[in-house]
Copies of this chain bind each other. A is one copy, B any other.
Amino acid sequence: MSSSVSPLAPKSFEELPQIEGVNFATASAGIKYKGRTDVLLAIMQEGTTVAGVFTKSKCSSAPVDWCKQRIGNGKASALLVNSGNANAFTGKKGAAAVELSADIVAKALGCPEDEVFLASTGVIGEPLPAEKFSGVIDALKDAQGTASWLEAAKAIMTTDTFPKVSSASIDLDGQTVTINGIAKGAGMIAPDMATMLSFIYTDVPVAAPVLQAVLSGQVDGSFNAITVDSDTSTSDTVLLFATGAAASRGVEPINAETDPRIVVVRAALADVMVDLAHQIVRDGEGARKFVEVSVEGAESDGSARKIAMAIANSPLVKTAVAGEDANWGRVVMAVGKAGEPADRDRLAIWFGDVRVAVDGERDPDYSEAAASAVMKEEEIRLRVDLGLGLGTATVWTCDLTKEYVAINGDYRS
């Protein structure tokens, strides 16, 4: 496995501003990894609301089951995340492990078990030694507030080569409020948020049902619009917590979706979620190129999205990008296999600003040199116009390299 940082990683990592009402601590419980942190405990102030979106996998992990059963309550006191073991496909042992984990946290913090949210990421099928949390819980409680956002993001990494953080600040009721997020994910990334975890916090007071609506509305355009390898994980989890701490500075609670202030909150949340989603693609296993696939002129947005995903998931398109080969024929192939309405003879394709195909054949002005120059860039925009209707979609992916195969051919062993 390569241990070098992805060439597509951000050039620098800035510390995020504080979010009042939540504190982090990290620890090394030795779940799987040695010499690094592998547990994150976040403690939230009373009244914190929570919303969540989870994997659609039929084989979801034990912590996903735990969270799904409690997300409807809308209340959160703590979040415990471990890396190195996904506690997925672990049967009754898995269910027992989440119960023990929540019990350990609830007892230490004096909060209801149902307000403890859990997430695990790592190997599937190995029993999670949840008793190891007992050994670190007091230290985690005592150390609360000592871990930065960047340190929190580091503790939840698995095959990630860099920690993923993002932040947006907006003005609300004359006060500066903030949305911070962390994420992990590098492989098994596909729509429905394959192996990815993301935890997002805001100090804005938002009622749980509104928080859920806002989160659910932003998932399709961010975490569900990325794909590394079309594989969907058992553990995908996005949790959005609102501590409500800004209320003490005069920010009025948002209790309804009709609140006009929701527009700016939603926009800031979208910025953070799209940024984190992009970072996951930029850390795609073995990735050397960041690819934006835009489809327009489809019969509907849904149809455009299916075609965009067919392109973004095609191993032949992704290997061509890796080879810096302007092989637009493979884009035609991917459009054709999507099974969505398409008229071969109206199709136009661009690599960057270079139109390579139009009216169902190679562009008469096609320049191999110009197209090849685009392919040498680190970020590549690939655009398809179907010429049928007004449907559009944009998704993001990375190239498929030998390094991807190397990383995944000996991950477990």
A330 within 8 A of B: yes
A-B contact pairs, 21 of them (CB 8 A): A56-B339, A57-B337, A58-B336, A58-B341, A58-B342, A59-B336, A88-B332, A89-B329, A91-B361, A124-B330, A124-B332, A125-B332, A126-B362, A229-B315, A233-B333, A234-B332, A315-B404, A320-B409, A323-B408, A327-B412, A329-B412
Q: Are A335 and B59 in contact (CB under 8 A)?
A: yes
A410 within 8 A of B: yes
Q: Are A325 and B361 in contact (CB under 8 A)?
A: no
Q: Give the residue name and chain of the B residue nearest to A58 (CB).
A: B342
Interface string of A296-334 (1 = CB under 8 A from B): 000000000000000001111001101101011110111
Name the contact of A58 in the complex, choosing from B90, B187, B313, B344 (C-beta under 8 A): B344
Chain A contacts to B: CB under 8 angstroms: 55-60, 86, 88-94, 123-127, 187-188, 190, 192, 194, 229-234, 313-316, 319-320, 322-323, 325, 327-330, 332-345, 347, 357, 359-362, 400-402, 404-406, 408-413
Question: CA–CA, A58 to B333, complex, Å?
Answer: 9
A55 neighbours in B (Cβ, 8 Å): 336
A412 neighbours in B (Cβ, 8 Å): 320, 325, 327, 329
Q: Are A89 and B405 in contact (CB under 8 A)?
A: no
Most buried by B among A125, A320, A342, A400: A125
Q: Are A325 and B89 in contact (CB under 8 A)?
A: no
Q: Give the residue name and chain of the B residue nearest to A345 (CB).
A: B91
A190 neighbours in B (Cβ, 8 Å): 337
Q: Give the residue name and chain of the B residue nearest to A124 (CB).
A: B329
Question: CA–CA, A412 to B372, complex, Å?
Answer: 12
Q: Are A229 and B340 in contact (CB under 8 A)?
A: no
Question: CA–CA, A89 to B357, complex, Å?
Answer: 9
Q: Are B125 and A57 in contact (CB under 8 A)?
A: no
Q: Are A316 and B360 in contact (CB under 8 A)?
A: no
A330 neighbours in B (Cβ, 8 Å): 124, 231
A285 CB to nearest chain B CB (Å): 9
Q: Are A337 and B231 in contact (CB under 8 A)?
A: yes
A58 neighbours in B (Cβ, 8 Å): 335-336, 338-344
Question: CA–CA, A255 to B123, complex, Å?
Answer: 58
A194 neighbours in B (Cβ, 8 Å): 337
A329 CB to nearest chain B CB (Å): 3
A359 neighbours in B (Cβ, 8 Å): 91
Q: Are A234 and B336 in contact (CB under 8 A)?
A: yes
Name the contact of A405 in the complex, choosing from B125, B319, B328, B411 (C-beta under 8 A): B319
A22 CB to nearest chain B CB (Å): 31
Question: CA–CA, A60 to B333, complex, Å?
Answer: 9
Q: Are A316 and B123 in contact (CB under 8 A)?
A: no
Q: Are B408 and A57 in contact (CB under 8 A)?
A: no
Name the contact of A315 in the complex, choosing from B88, B230, B333 (C-beta under 8 A): B230
Q: A56-B339, A316-B187, A322-B409 are in contact. Are A124 and B333 (CB under 8 A)?
A: yes
Q: Are B94 and A361 in contact (CB under 8 A)?
A: yes
A361 neighbours in B (Cβ, 8 Å): 89-94, 125, 127
Q: Are A320 and B125 in contact (CB under 8 A)?
A: no
